[in-house]
Chain A
């Protein structure tokens, strides 16, 4: 009961506070003193919901430069995020990170964990009550790559598109909800811009979540008269970054708790490497074996002496 309960609490707590503040003085806004009546009207108009998502983005120590750049790209895409110092990988188990998120006042966390300088894991966590998801990140391309030619406003709210197989299963549904909350920029966030010029793609292919970010571009002279013919001329240019998330596990709590889901197809990269090594190790033994077998074969069926062997010698 993370978000919901919180709201209920605030709603319950709010009225007495308001009464008290009415006695003292109204809240101050940029335009002057806020009227009580106006405040009430506004609240009813937006049905009382305000997205106060704040994402803490951090990474483990000894992270690869490429993955660090990926993290920075994510930071640049999310105006509602807070970047923090690297965290010691060993200490990342639960408590420290939870504390950190609480300290920063975040409601969710993206933690990039790099192991052995090659494997990147991404923790996507709702704080403080969970759930948390651990992904293996594949196919990373950062925004710095020159072939990604798009560009968009920093802090404009992205449009999130999901492929329809997100509604297929319970864990995908949960992931979708988490992605909406974490990657969606809150409306009227102070760092966000009032226009929409990029699209995020979250698509499940081969049981992996693929991420793409496209800029919406319309021919220059037609930007003003979009309502009429602009829709056909709309094209997308990729901005980046690209990555592919392979969900490994979903936990009930934040950075821990009971396991709710386990990817049945998952093999860890360590296992893959071990398998590779094993394959390579067998090579020499196989060669030796083949050699001895050949020798045995030659011994068992010897060639008959050639009758023409000394024909030309005389």
Chain B
């Protein structure tokens, strides 16, 4: 009960999840002993209020529909389905009765009259349906995009794997070939080197020497070993310069005179001073 009431205060939009709560009413597990049940009185009253026996069906429009099986109250879907089938069965029977009586049943399509729900309300209903549809479509699209992304990632990974495998296979095959040659006894060292170079040029695992001019063919360090001493000299020079002039950072404060630098006359020549004096005199 409590839940139902809370739901009542909340907005009507939250219907779907609250639906299962709403019928959580409590009841006694066993019937109360002292409850009144006056069957004669009830039947008497029924006789009092009921219409005469011979009243035509058309006055009542009531139909009894057989409920095939017990309906579980707490299963919303089953319950609603039971109601729906009851209504549907009722309409079918009613339709047949109307047919046999030759009376009009459904509203003809050109009969316009006031409806229970206003047009503005129906516009709202339609809007909600459309919005819901749109939401579903959007979600679907997002899902598809995600799927595609995942798929492309997988494909990419596969490709990379394949490439590395190919590379490995090639290296392997070269090694194998070399071994075979060694075992079978090769013709001459010179030719062998040539062949090797050929391979190294053509294959992926060594960069071509053409990009680094001035490197000897046999130099395995790629010319770096040769360049080493020159580099060191250059580096020393650079260090000196940067210790003198500074490297990086802000220079403005370093170049400014302070009290110490103004009093420091080391950089000046004595002779210059004397010379000046002489000139003044």
Contact = CB atoms under 8 A, between A and B. Distances in A.
A210 to B, nearest CB: 7
B84 interface: yes
Interface string B57-94: 01111111111000101000001001110111111101
A308 interface: no
B92 A231 contact: yes
B26 A272 contact: yes
Interface string B34-47: 01111101110110
Given A196-B98, A262-B35, A156 B114 contact: no
A21 interface: no
B145 interface: no
Given A142-B12, A212-B83, A4 B52 contact: yes
A267 B1 CA distance: 11
B2 A273 contact: yes
Interface residues of A, number: 105
Interface stretch (A24-32, A36-44, A219-227, A292-300): A219-227
Interface residues on B, range: 35 or more
A197 B111 CA distance: 12
B17 to A, nearest CB: 12
B23 A162 contact: no
B48 interface: yes
Nearest to B22: A139
Nearest to A179: B62
A311 B184 CA distance: 73
A146 B128 contact: yes
A22 interface: no
A267 B122 CA distance: 39
Interface in A70-129: 76-77, 118-119, 126, 129
Given A149-B129, A231-B95, A163 B86 contact: yes
A205 B82 contact: yes
A236 B46 contact: no
A74 to B, nearest CB: 11
B181 to A, nearest CB: 68
Contacts of A171: 37, 42
Interface string A44-56: 0011010100000
A141 B83 CA distance: 15
A179 B56 CA distance: 17
Nearest to B36: A262
A227 B103 CA distance: 12
Given A163-B86, A178-B49, A195 B104 contact: yes
A212 B60 CA distance: 18
12 contacts: A3-B51, A47-B55, A66-B8, A146-B128, A161-B86, A163-B67, A195-B104, A195-B106, A207-B27, A231-B95, A252-B41, A259-B38
Interface of A: 1-4, 7, 46-47, 49, 51, 64, 66, 76-77, 118-119, 126, 129-131, 138-149, 151-167, 170-171, 173-174, 176-178, 180-181, 184, 186-187, 193-197, 199, 201, 203, 205-208, 210, 212, 214, 216, 218, 220, 223-224, 226-227, 231, 234, 236, 239, 244, 246, 250, 252, 258-267, 269, 272-273, 275-276
